[in-house]
Amino acid sequence: MKVAVEEISSVKKSLKIEVPEEIVTRELEAAYTDLNHRVRIPGFRPGKAPRALLEKRYGPTVEEDVIRRLVPDYYQRAIRETGLRPVELPAIEKIELKKNAPLSFTAMVEITPPIPLGTTTGLKVQRPKMEVTTIEVDKALEALQEQHAQLVACPEGHPIAEKDFVVVDFQGSMDGRPLEGGSRQNHLIRVGSDTLIPGFEEQLIHHQRGDRVKVQTTFPKDYPKADLAGRAVEFDVMIREVKQKVLPPLDDEFAKDIGKFASLDQLREKLREDLTARIRLEQDRAVRTALLKQLSEAHPFEVPSSLVEQEVQESLARLQQRLPKGMTLEQAKIDLRAVRKEIEPAAHEKVKGRLILMAIAEREQLTVTKEEIDTALSRTAEELKLSSEDVRRLIVSQDGSLDVFKARLLEDKAMDWVVSKAVIE
Protein backbone atom coordinates (compact mmCIF):
# COMPACT_ATOMS: atom_id res chain seq x y z
CA MET A 1 0.00 0.00 0.00
CA LYS A 2 1.15 3.52 -0.79
CA VAL A 3 -0.07 6.60 1.10
CA ALA A 4 0.71 10.21 0.27
CA VAL A 5 -0.56 12.91 2.63
CA GLU A 6 -1.20 16.40 1.29
CA GLU A 7 -1.75 19.13 3.86
CA ILE A 8 -4.72 21.30 2.92
CA SER A 9 -4.64 23.01 6.32
CA SER A 10 -3.59 22.12 9.86
CA VAL A 11 -6.85 20.20 10.30
CA LYS A 12 -7.67 19.10 6.76
CA LYS A 13 -5.66 16.44 4.94
CA SER A 14 -5.87 14.76 1.56
CA LEU A 15 -4.74 11.14 1.56
CA LYS A 16 -3.91 9.60 -1.81
CA ILE A 17 -4.11 5.87 -1.20
CA GLU A 18 -2.99 3.14 -3.57
CA VAL A 19 -3.96 -0.51 -3.08
CA PRO A 20 -1.36 -2.92 -4.57
CA GLU A 21 -2.19 -4.45 -7.95
CA GLU A 22 -1.86 -8.02 -6.63
CA ILE A 23 -4.47 -7.33 -3.93
CA VAL A 24 -6.86 -5.86 -6.48
CA THR A 25 -6.31 -8.77 -8.88
CA ARG A 26 -6.92 -11.30 -6.10
CA GLU A 27 -10.14 -9.58 -5.03
CA LEU A 28 -11.40 -9.37 -8.61
CA GLU A 29 -10.59 -13.05 -9.19
CA ALA A 30 -12.46 -14.03 -6.03
CA ALA A 31 -15.43 -11.85 -6.96
CA TYR A 32 -15.71 -13.28 -10.48
CA THR A 33 -15.28 -16.86 -9.23
CA ASP A 34 -18.08 -16.35 -6.72
CA LEU A 35 -20.24 -14.69 -9.37
CA ASN A 36 -19.61 -17.52 -11.83
CA HIS A 37 -21.12 -20.02 -9.39
CA ARG A 38 -24.12 -17.84 -8.56
CA VAL A 39 -25.38 -16.63 -11.96
CA ARG A 40 -27.02 -18.73 -14.64
CA ILE A 41 -25.90 -17.98 -18.20
CA PRO A 42 -27.58 -19.91 -21.03
CA GLY A 43 -25.23 -22.36 -22.72
CA PHE A 44 -22.82 -22.66 -19.79
CA ARG A 45 -22.78 -24.87 -16.74
CA PRO A 46 -22.49 -23.15 -13.31
CA GLY A 47 -18.91 -21.94 -12.81
CA LYS A 48 -17.94 -22.48 -16.46
CA ALA A 49 -18.87 -19.14 -18.07
CA PRO A 50 -15.89 -17.35 -19.68
CA ARG A 51 -14.37 -14.51 -17.65
CA ALA A 52 -14.68 -12.14 -20.62
CA LEU A 53 -18.44 -12.74 -20.79
CA LEU A 54 -18.82 -12.12 -17.05
CA GLU A 55 -16.80 -8.90 -17.32
CA LYS A 56 -18.97 -7.70 -20.19
CA ARG A 57 -22.24 -8.40 -18.38
CA TYR A 58 -21.35 -7.76 -14.76
CA GLY A 59 -18.08 -5.80 -14.81
CA PRO A 60 -19.36 -2.53 -13.24
CA THR A 61 -21.27 -4.42 -10.52
CA VAL A 62 -18.25 -6.56 -9.62
CA GLU A 63 -15.95 -3.53 -9.55
CA GLU A 64 -18.35 -1.63 -7.26
CA ASP A 65 -18.41 -4.62 -4.92
CA VAL A 66 -14.60 -4.80 -4.83
CA ILE A 67 -14.38 -1.06 -4.24
CA ARG A 68 -16.88 -1.30 -1.36
CA ARG A 69 -14.66 -3.92 0.29
CA LEU A 70 -11.22 -2.46 -0.36
CA VAL A 71 -11.72 1.29 0.11
CA PRO A 72 -12.88 1.24 3.77
CA ASP A 73 -10.27 -1.38 4.67
CA TYR A 74 -7.34 0.47 3.11
CA TYR A 75 -8.55 3.84 4.36
CA GLN A 76 -8.35 2.48 7.92
CA ARG A 77 -4.90 1.00 7.18
CA ALA A 78 -3.75 4.39 5.87
CA ILE A 79 -5.04 6.13 9.00
CA ARG A 80 -3.14 3.69 11.23
CA GLU A 81 0.02 4.05 9.15
CA THR A 82 -0.03 7.87 9.15
CA GLY A 83 -1.11 8.21 12.78
CA LEU A 84 -3.76 10.75 11.86
CA ARG A 85 -6.81 11.10 14.12
CA PRO A 86 -9.90 11.84 12.02
CA VAL A 87 -12.82 13.66 13.62
CA GLU A 88 -15.31 12.76 10.91
CA LEU A 89 -15.97 10.22 8.18
CA PRO A 90 -13.85 10.88 5.07
CA ALA A 91 -15.03 12.19 1.74
CA ILE A 92 -13.84 9.58 -0.78
CA GLU A 93 -12.97 10.96 -4.21
CA LYS A 94 -11.21 10.05 -7.47
CA ILE A 95 -11.64 6.28 -7.25
CA GLU A 96 -9.77 4.56 -10.09
CA LEU A 97 -10.01 0.82 -10.66
CA LYS A 98 -8.50 -0.67 -13.80
CA LYS A 99 -7.57 -4.19 -14.84
CA ASN A 100 -3.96 -5.14 -14.06
CA ALA A 101 -3.40 -1.91 -12.12
CA PRO A 102 -3.51 -0.71 -8.51
CA LEU A 103 -6.74 0.70 -7.07
CA SER A 104 -6.28 4.36 -6.17
CA PHE A 105 -8.53 6.80 -4.35
CA THR A 106 -8.35 10.05 -2.40
CA ALA A 107 -9.73 10.51 1.11
CA MET A 108 -10.40 14.07 2.28
CA VAL A 109 -10.56 14.15 6.06
CA GLU A 110 -10.52 16.54 9.00
CA ILE A 111 -8.29 15.57 11.89
CA THR A 112 -7.64 16.50 15.48
CA PRO A 113 -5.17 19.38 15.18
CA PRO A 114 -1.75 19.23 16.81
CA ILE A 115 -1.97 21.23 20.04
CA PRO A 116 1.45 22.15 21.47
CA LEU A 117 0.41 22.76 25.07
CA GLY A 118 1.82 25.78 26.84
CA THR A 119 1.23 26.81 30.44
CA THR A 120 -1.60 24.85 32.01
CA THR A 121 -0.67 25.23 35.68
CA GLY A 122 -0.67 28.21 38.01
CA LEU A 123 -3.47 29.96 36.13
CA LYS A 124 -5.02 32.70 38.27
CA VAL A 125 -8.75 33.27 38.57
CA GLN A 126 -11.03 34.95 41.08
CA ARG A 127 -13.85 33.01 42.65
CA PRO A 128 -17.02 35.13 42.34
CA LYS A 129 -18.26 36.52 45.65
CA MET A 130 -21.81 35.25 46.18
CA GLU A 131 -23.91 35.02 49.32
CA VAL A 132 -27.40 33.80 50.04
CA THR A 133 -29.61 36.69 51.13
CA THR A 134 -32.73 36.66 53.27
CA ILE A 135 -34.66 37.87 50.21
CA GLU A 136 -33.57 34.79 48.24
CA VAL A 137 -34.64 32.49 51.09
CA ASP A 138 -38.01 34.27 51.19
CA LYS A 139 -38.43 33.79 47.45
CA ALA A 140 -37.62 30.08 47.73
CA LEU A 141 -40.16 29.77 50.55
CA GLU A 142 -42.78 31.57 48.47
CA ALA A 143 -42.08 29.22 45.56
CA LEU A 144 -42.75 26.26 47.87
CA GLN A 145 -45.93 27.95 49.02
CA GLU A 146 -47.03 28.33 45.38
CA GLN A 147 -46.29 24.65 44.68
CA HIS A 148 -48.58 23.61 47.53
CA ALA A 149 -51.39 26.01 46.71
CA GLN A 150 -54.87 24.61 46.12
CA LEU A 151 -57.51 25.59 43.58
CA VAL A 152 -60.76 26.26 45.43
CA ALA A 153 -64.14 26.69 43.74
CA CYS A 154 -65.43 30.27 43.81
CA PRO A 155 -68.88 31.06 45.27
CA GLU A 156 -71.88 30.84 42.94
CA GLY A 157 -72.17 33.99 40.86
CA HIS A 158 -68.51 34.97 41.22
CA PRO A 159 -67.50 37.06 38.16
CA ILE A 160 -64.35 35.84 36.45
CA ALA A 161 -61.35 38.13 36.99
CA GLU A 162 -57.66 38.21 36.10
CA LYS A 163 -55.69 35.35 37.70
CA ASP A 164 -58.80 33.22 38.22
CA PHE A 165 -58.70 29.64 36.98
CA VAL A 166 -61.53 28.46 34.77
CA VAL A 167 -62.42 25.01 33.45
CA VAL A 168 -64.01 25.25 30.01
CA ASP A 169 -65.21 23.24 27.04
CA PHE A 170 -64.75 24.97 23.71
CA GLN A 171 -65.18 24.35 20.00
CA GLY A 172 -63.60 26.62 17.43
CA SER A 173 -65.12 27.36 14.04
CA MET A 174 -63.97 29.26 10.99
CA ASP A 175 -66.23 30.37 8.16
CA GLY A 176 -69.03 28.39 9.79
CA ARG A 177 -67.07 25.12 9.80
CA PRO A 178 -65.56 23.31 12.82
CA LEU A 179 -61.87 24.11 13.24
CA GLU A 180 -59.73 20.98 13.06
CA GLY A 181 -57.93 20.53 16.38
CA GLY A 182 -59.83 23.51 17.79
CA SER A 183 -61.84 21.78 20.52
CA ARG A 184 -61.11 20.93 24.15
CA GLN A 185 -63.00 19.37 27.04
CA ASN A 186 -62.44 20.31 30.70
CA HIS A 187 -59.56 22.58 29.72
CA LEU A 188 -57.99 24.53 32.60
CA ILE A 189 -57.03 28.13 31.88
CA ARG A 190 -55.46 30.75 34.13
CA VAL A 191 -57.07 33.99 32.98
CA GLY A 192 -54.39 36.46 31.93
CA SER A 193 -51.71 33.83 31.30
CA ASP A 194 -51.98 34.30 27.51
CA THR A 195 -51.65 30.56 26.91
CA LEU A 196 -54.40 30.71 24.29
CA ILE A 197 -54.53 32.99 21.27
CA PRO A 198 -54.80 36.74 22.03
CA GLY A 199 -58.30 37.92 22.90
CA PHE A 200 -59.63 34.56 24.10
CA GLU A 201 -59.07 34.86 27.85
CA GLU A 202 -60.05 38.53 28.09
CA GLN A 203 -63.52 37.77 26.75
CA LEU A 204 -64.19 35.41 29.67
CA ILE A 205 -63.79 38.19 32.26
CA HIS A 206 -67.00 39.16 34.14
CA HIS A 207 -68.73 35.94 33.08
CA GLN A 208 -69.48 33.20 35.62
CA ARG A 209 -69.88 29.47 36.00
CA GLY A 210 -72.55 28.05 33.69
CA ASP A 211 -72.30 30.85 31.12
CA ARG A 212 -72.00 30.04 27.43
CA VAL A 213 -69.77 32.59 25.69
CA LYS A 214 -69.10 33.32 22.03
CA VAL A 215 -65.44 34.31 21.81
CA GLN A 216 -64.50 36.06 18.58
CA THR A 217 -60.85 36.76 17.89
CA THR A 218 -58.15 36.50 15.22
CA PHE A 219 -55.11 34.29 14.93
CA PRO A 220 -51.86 36.31 15.05
CA LYS A 221 -50.26 37.07 11.69
CA ASP A 222 -47.15 35.19 12.79
CA TYR A 223 -49.10 32.12 13.97
CA PRO A 224 -47.01 28.98 13.25
CA LYS A 225 -49.74 27.34 11.15
CA ALA A 226 -49.72 29.42 7.99
CA ASP A 227 -53.26 28.40 6.97
CA LEU A 228 -54.62 29.96 10.19
CA ALA A 229 -52.37 33.02 10.50
CA GLY A 230 -54.30 36.30 10.44
CA ARG A 231 -57.73 34.64 10.07
CA ALA A 232 -60.83 35.30 12.17
CA VAL A 233 -62.10 32.50 14.39
CA GLU A 234 -65.05 31.99 16.73
CA PHE A 235 -65.10 29.77 19.81
CA ASP A 236 -68.23 28.45 21.47
CA VAL A 237 -67.17 28.32 25.13
CA MET A 238 -68.94 26.64 28.04
CA ILE A 239 -67.67 27.74 31.48
CA ARG A 240 -67.74 24.65 33.71
CA GLU A 241 -65.94 25.87 36.82
CA VAL A 242 -64.35 29.01 38.25
CA LYS A 243 -61.60 28.62 40.83
CA GLN A 244 -59.09 30.70 42.73
CA LYS A 245 -55.67 29.78 44.02
CA VAL A 246 -55.46 29.63 47.81
CA LEU A 247 -51.98 29.69 49.35
CA PRO A 248 -51.30 27.76 52.56
CA PRO A 249 -50.18 29.91 55.52
CA LEU A 250 -46.43 29.95 56.11
CA ASP A 251 -46.22 28.50 59.59
CA ASP A 252 -44.82 25.52 61.47
CA GLU A 253 -47.66 23.30 60.24
CA PHE A 254 -46.75 24.10 56.63
CA ALA A 255 -43.13 23.09 57.33
CA LYS A 256 -44.25 19.81 58.91
CA ASP A 257 -46.60 19.00 56.05
CA ILE A 258 -44.14 19.43 53.19
CA GLY A 259 -41.03 17.80 54.64
CA LYS A 260 -41.44 16.73 58.21
CA PHE A 261 -39.52 19.77 59.42
CA ALA A 262 -39.98 20.59 63.09
CA SER A 263 -40.64 24.27 62.42
CA LEU A 264 -40.75 26.97 59.77
CA ASP A 265 -37.33 28.18 60.94
CA GLN A 266 -35.90 24.71 60.28
CA LEU A 267 -37.39 24.75 56.79
CA ARG A 268 -35.88 28.19 56.14
CA GLU A 269 -32.49 26.91 57.27
CA LYS A 270 -32.74 23.93 54.88
CA LEU A 271 -33.63 26.28 52.03
CA ARG A 272 -30.61 28.42 52.89
CA GLU A 273 -28.37 25.33 52.82
CA ASP A 274 -29.76 24.29 49.42
CA LEU A 275 -29.27 27.79 48.00
CA THR A 276 -25.73 27.89 49.38
CA ALA A 277 -24.93 24.57 47.70
CA ARG A 278 -26.35 25.90 44.43
CA ILE A 279 -24.23 29.04 44.73
CA ARG A 280 -21.13 26.92 45.26
CA LEU A 281 -21.92 25.05 42.06
CA GLU A 282 -22.31 28.37 40.22
CA GLN A 283 -19.00 29.58 41.65
CA ASP A 284 -17.29 26.35 40.58
CA ARG A 285 -18.80 26.68 37.11
CA ALA A 286 -17.62 30.29 36.84
CA VAL A 287 -14.08 29.30 37.88
CA ARG A 288 -13.97 26.49 35.31
CA THR A 289 -15.31 28.78 32.58
CA ALA A 290 -12.69 31.44 33.38
CA LEU A 291 -9.87 28.89 33.37
CA LEU A 292 -11.03 27.39 30.09
CA LYS A 293 -11.17 30.87 28.57
CA GLN A 294 -7.56 31.48 29.62
CA LEU A 295 -6.48 28.18 28.13
CA SER A 296 -8.29 28.96 24.88
CA GLU A 297 -6.69 32.40 24.59
CA ALA A 298 -3.24 30.94 25.30
CA HIS A 299 -3.53 28.21 22.68
CA PRO A 300 -4.31 29.52 19.18
CA PHE A 301 -5.00 26.73 16.70
CA GLU A 302 -7.40 25.89 13.90
CA VAL A 303 -10.56 24.12 15.04
CA PRO A 304 -12.07 21.46 12.73
CA SER A 305 -15.16 22.97 11.10
CA SER A 306 -16.95 19.61 11.13
CA LEU A 307 -16.80 19.48 14.95
CA VAL A 308 -18.12 23.03 15.19
CA GLU A 309 -20.95 22.11 12.83
CA GLN A 310 -21.80 19.07 14.97
CA GLU A 311 -22.04 21.34 18.02
CA VAL A 312 -24.21 23.82 16.10
CA GLN A 313 -26.53 21.01 15.01
CA GLU A 314 -26.83 19.80 18.61
CA SER A 315 -27.76 23.33 19.71
CA LEU A 316 -30.38 23.56 16.96
CA ALA A 317 -31.75 20.15 18.02
CA ARG A 318 -32.10 21.39 21.61
CA LEU A 319 -33.91 24.47 20.29
CA GLN A 320 -36.21 22.22 18.26
CA GLN A 321 -37.04 20.19 21.38
CA ARG A 322 -38.33 23.32 23.11
CA LEU A 323 -40.93 23.87 20.40
CA PRO A 324 -44.42 22.33 20.48
CA LYS A 325 -44.48 18.76 19.17
CA GLY A 326 -44.57 18.62 15.39
CA MET A 327 -43.56 22.26 14.89
CA THR A 328 -40.44 22.98 12.84
CA LEU A 329 -38.04 25.87 13.33
CA GLU A 330 -39.30 27.36 10.08
CA GLN A 331 -42.92 27.15 11.25
CA ALA A 332 -41.93 28.89 14.48
CA LYS A 333 -40.63 31.79 12.35
CA ILE A 334 -37.11 31.26 13.68
CA ASP A 335 -34.44 32.82 11.47
CA LEU A 336 -31.96 29.95 11.16
CA ARG A 337 -29.29 32.17 9.65
CA ALA A 338 -29.49 34.59 12.58
CA VAL A 339 -29.56 31.75 15.11
CA ARG A 340 -26.51 30.09 13.54
CA LYS A 341 -24.63 33.40 13.55
CA GLU A 342 -25.42 33.73 17.24
CA ILE A 343 -24.47 30.22 18.34
CA GLU A 344 -21.45 29.51 16.10
CA PRO A 345 -18.90 31.49 18.19
CA ALA A 346 -19.95 29.65 21.37
CA ALA A 347 -19.88 26.33 19.50
CA HIS A 348 -16.36 27.12 18.25
CA GLU A 349 -15.13 27.91 21.77
CA LYS A 350 -16.80 24.83 23.22
CA VAL A 351 -15.11 22.53 20.72
CA LYS A 352 -11.77 24.28 21.17
CA GLY A 353 -12.01 23.88 24.94
CA ARG A 354 -12.75 20.17 24.59
CA LEU A 355 -9.76 19.65 22.31
CA ILE A 356 -7.45 21.42 24.78
CA LEU A 357 -8.77 19.34 27.68
CA MET A 358 -8.30 16.11 25.72
CA ALA A 359 -4.72 17.17 24.91
CA ILE A 360 -4.10 17.79 28.63
CA ALA A 361 -5.63 14.40 29.48
CA GLU A 362 -3.29 12.72 26.99
CA ARG A 363 -0.20 14.53 28.25
CA GLU A 364 -1.00 13.85 31.91
CA GLN A 365 -2.00 10.25 31.11
CA LEU A 366 -5.43 10.71 32.65
CA THR A 367 -7.89 7.86 32.14
CA VAL A 368 -11.47 7.00 33.02
CA THR A 369 -11.96 3.70 34.82
CA LYS A 370 -14.89 1.32 34.46
CA GLU A 371 -15.87 2.15 38.04
CA GLU A 372 -15.98 5.88 37.21
CA ILE A 373 -18.16 5.18 34.17
CA ASP A 374 -20.53 3.07 36.29
CA THR A 375 -20.70 5.79 38.95
CA ALA A 376 -21.48 8.44 36.34
CA LEU A 377 -24.16 6.23 34.80
CA SER A 378 -25.73 5.69 38.22
CA ARG A 379 -25.70 9.43 38.90
CA THR A 380 -27.33 10.15 35.54
CA ALA A 381 -29.87 7.38 36.15
CA GLU A 382 -30.80 8.92 39.49
CA GLU A 383 -31.30 12.33 37.87
CA LEU A 384 -33.47 10.87 35.10
CA LYS A 385 -35.25 8.45 37.45
CA LEU A 386 -34.20 5.49 35.30
CA SER A 387 -32.11 2.40 35.89
CA SER A 388 -28.40 2.46 35.05
CA GLU A 389 -28.97 -0.15 32.33
CA ASP A 390 -31.73 1.96 30.77
CA VAL A 391 -29.40 4.97 30.73
CA ARG A 392 -26.64 2.86 29.18
CA ARG A 393 -29.02 1.64 26.45
CA LEU A 394 -30.27 5.19 25.85
CA ILE A 395 -26.74 6.54 25.40
CA VAL A 396 -25.73 3.69 23.09
CA SER A 397 -28.90 4.13 21.01
CA GLN A 398 -28.10 7.83 20.55
CA ASP A 399 -24.31 7.73 20.10
CA GLY A 400 -23.68 4.15 18.98
CA SER A 401 -21.45 3.43 21.99
CA LEU A 402 -20.36 4.84 25.34
CA ASP A 403 -17.32 6.51 23.72
CA VAL A 404 -18.81 10.02 23.71
CA PHE A 405 -20.01 9.62 27.31
CA LYS A 406 -16.55 8.40 28.32
CA ALA A 407 -14.90 11.31 26.47
CA ARG A 408 -17.02 13.82 28.42
CA LEU A 409 -15.95 12.17 31.68
CA LEU A 410 -12.31 12.41 30.60
CA GLU A 411 -12.78 16.10 29.76
CA ASP A 412 -14.24 16.65 33.24
CA LYS A 413 -11.26 14.88 34.80
CA ALA A 414 -8.85 17.04 32.79
CA MET A 415 -10.75 20.15 33.90
CA ASP A 416 -10.53 18.98 37.52
CA TRP A 417 -6.77 18.63 37.02
CA VAL A 418 -6.52 22.21 35.69
CA VAL A 419 -8.55 23.51 38.65
CA SER A 420 -6.32 21.62 41.10
CA LYS A 421 -3.23 23.30 39.59
CA ALA A 422 -4.76 26.80 39.43
CA VAL A 423 -4.45 29.71 41.85
CA ILE A 424 -8.01 30.56 42.86
CA GLU A 425 -8.32 33.81 44.80
CA distances from 96 to 3, 59, 75, 78, 99 (A): 15, 14, 15, 17, 10
- Between 16-30, 35-49, 341-355, 367-381, the lowest mean confidence (pLDDT) is in 35-49
> Does residue 44 register a pLDDT over 80?
no
Give the three-state DSSP class for 242: strand
Give the span between the Cα atoms of 228 and 218, in whole angstroms.
9
In angstroms, the Cα distances linking 182 to 111, 173, 234 are 52, 8, 10
Beta bridge partners of 352: none
Segment 234-245, tens digit of pLDDT:
999 999 999 999
Q: Are the C-beta atoms of 29 and 100 separated by less than 8 Å?
A: no
Check residue 251 and report its DSSP letter: S
DSSP strands (E only) in 255-404: none
pLDDT at 100: 83
* pLDDT of residue 328 exceeding 80: no
pLDDT at 315 over 80: yes
Q: What is the per-residue pLDDT for 225?
A: 82
Question: Who has greater pLDDT, 42 or 106?
Answer: 106
pLDDT at 327: 74
pLDDT, tens only, 60-96: 888 888 888 899 999 999 999 999 999 888 999 889 8
Q: How far apart are CA 136 and CA 271, in angstroms?
A: 9
Say if CB 239 and CB 208 are below 8 A apart.
yes
pLDDT at 34: 78
Mean pLDDT of 185-198: 92
